[in-house]
């Protein structure tokens, strides 16, 4: 067997915490794009419009020991009688994958330290995204999984006054592929990215972090597809009037401004580094291995990776910084071997 010899020197590695997503999106007018699209969709009939005027239909109902789900008086009601309990009621499964969904949520009773939320892209096993807000002025985006909640956007303050009984808060979700925009009362409050779930059903949820007795109600749930079956944005029409020609609005990321990206990168590089290594000293943070397929060693003020078997991937793990969003940079040099060999950075490595 022909032996492959490929040697890489990793000369320096730097990790900086990164808050690029929202800043760059907003700099490119992403929020304005979302609001224009929402206004366009509001002129169209929704694919799903639930006013809870009739029998429960596809919605889950039931009275349990520590929570209750009910359709009553033209609203979907959730009562939570156990502290720190998250409850949701499942709704229709047949909703668009890429969608704009909104619902009016009402505080009815109980602690203001509560949560009420809109679940979307719900899977058969109950996993889903959940956009929640609270009556005391916070919001969050999380994934509901079989092992618990995984926050995508941790709780953040809205800066708005606490809700009063009977007042509605309109929650909106604009989900286009992995890009998720969150709206409260018609204002874009957050833009996030996650590709865990591509499609799925909807749900309505509530929880009682501040103690039992939380009661919330939901009304006027509406869901619009972002694109029709042909993949184009549907046009609005008014009976009796000609439908004007519509020029498709470009997606917010379609034209990335290189100057804006360069400016953001420069700002990040000016911030304190969360982790850096010039490989001058061995702090024991890099895994050094020796196998039949390759070897990793420290030498000449560098991390040396040598691959000796074809179709073999060799890497060295680091136990350093683990920020969720980051900029990572490293200088790499091919010492010997075929130019077709690969060199790269592994990131978000799981345990």
52 with 144, same domain: the answer is yes
Residue 269 DSSP SS3: helix
CA 116, chain centre distance (Å): 18
53 by Cβ neighbours in 10 Å (0-12 / 13-18 / 19+) ranks as exposed
pLDDT for res 184: 96
207 with 341, same domain: the answer is no
pLDDT tens digits along 210-241 = 899 999 999 999 999 998 655 566 554 333 33
Listed ranges 6-10, 23-27, 122-126, 234-238; the one with the highest mean pLDDT: 122-126
DSSP 29-87: THHHHHHHHHHHHHTS--SEEE---SS-TTS--EE-SSEEEEEETTEEEEEE-STT-EE
pTM of the model: 0.61
Of 157, 141, 134, 144, nearest to 207 by C-alpha is 134
Is 234 inside a domain boundary? no
36 with 7, same domain: the answer is no
pLDDT tens digits along 176-204 = 999 999 999 999 999 999 999 999 999 99
Is 184 inside a domain boundary? yes
61 with 12, same domain: the answer is no
78 with 5, same domain: the answer is no
Phi, psi of 180 (to 5 degrees): -125, 120
Which residues have CB under 8 Å from 26's CB, separation 6+?
191
Mean pLDDT of the chain: 80
99 with 44, same domain: the answer is yes
Confidence check: pLDDT of 27 > 60: no
Give residue 158's pLDDT band: very low, low, confident or very high (50, 70, 90). Answer: confident
Q: What is the CATH number of the domain that holds 114?
A: 2.60.120.560
What residues make up the domain containing 310?
1-28+255-346
19 with 57, same domain: the answer is no
23 with 109, same domain: the answer is no
Cα 249 from Cα 225, distance rounded (Å): 15
């Amino acid at each position: 067997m022909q032996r492959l010899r490929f040697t890489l020197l990793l000369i320096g590695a730097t990790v900086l915490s990164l808050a690029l997503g929202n800043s760059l999106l907003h700099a490119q007018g992403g929020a304005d794009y979302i609001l224009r699209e929402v206004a366009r969709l509001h002129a169209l009939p929704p694919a799903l419009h639930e006013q809870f005027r009739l029998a429960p239909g596809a919605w889950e109902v039931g009275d349990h020991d520590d929570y209750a789900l009910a359709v009553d008086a033209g609203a979907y009601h959730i009562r939570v009688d156990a502290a720190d309990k998250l409850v949701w009621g499942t709704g229709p499964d047949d909703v668009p994958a890429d969608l704009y969904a909104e619902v009016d949520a009402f505080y009815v009773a109980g602690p203001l330290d509560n949560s009420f939320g809109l679940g979307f892209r719900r899977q058969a096993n109950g996993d889903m995204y959940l956009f929640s807000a609270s009556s005391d002025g916070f919001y969050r985006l999380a994934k509901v999984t079989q092992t618990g909640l995984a926050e995508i956007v941790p709780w953040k303050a809205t800066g708005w006054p606490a809700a009063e009984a009977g007042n509605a808060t309109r929650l909106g979700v604009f989900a286009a592929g992995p890009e998720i925009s969150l709206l409260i009362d018609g204002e874009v409050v957050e833009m996030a990215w996650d590709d865990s779930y591509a499609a799925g059903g909807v749900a309505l949820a509530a929880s009682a972090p501040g103690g039992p007795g939380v009661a919330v109600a939901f009304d006027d749930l509406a869901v619009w597809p972002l694109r029709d079956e042909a993949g184009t944005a549907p046009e609005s029409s008014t009976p009796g009037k000609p439908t004007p020609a519509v020029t498709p609005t470009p997606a917010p990321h379609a034209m990335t401004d290189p100057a804006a990206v360069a400016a953001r990168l420069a700002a990040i590089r000016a911030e304190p580094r969360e982790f850096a290594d010039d490989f001058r000293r061995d702090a024991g943070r890099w895994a050094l291995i020796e196998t039949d397929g390759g070897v990793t060693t420290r030498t000449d003020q560098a991390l040396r990776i040598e691959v000796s078997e074809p179709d073999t991937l060799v890497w060295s793990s680091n136990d350093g910084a683990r920020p969720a969003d980051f900029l990572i940079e490293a200088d790499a040099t091919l010492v010997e071997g075929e130019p077709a060999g690969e060199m790269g950075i592994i990131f978000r490595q799981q345990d």
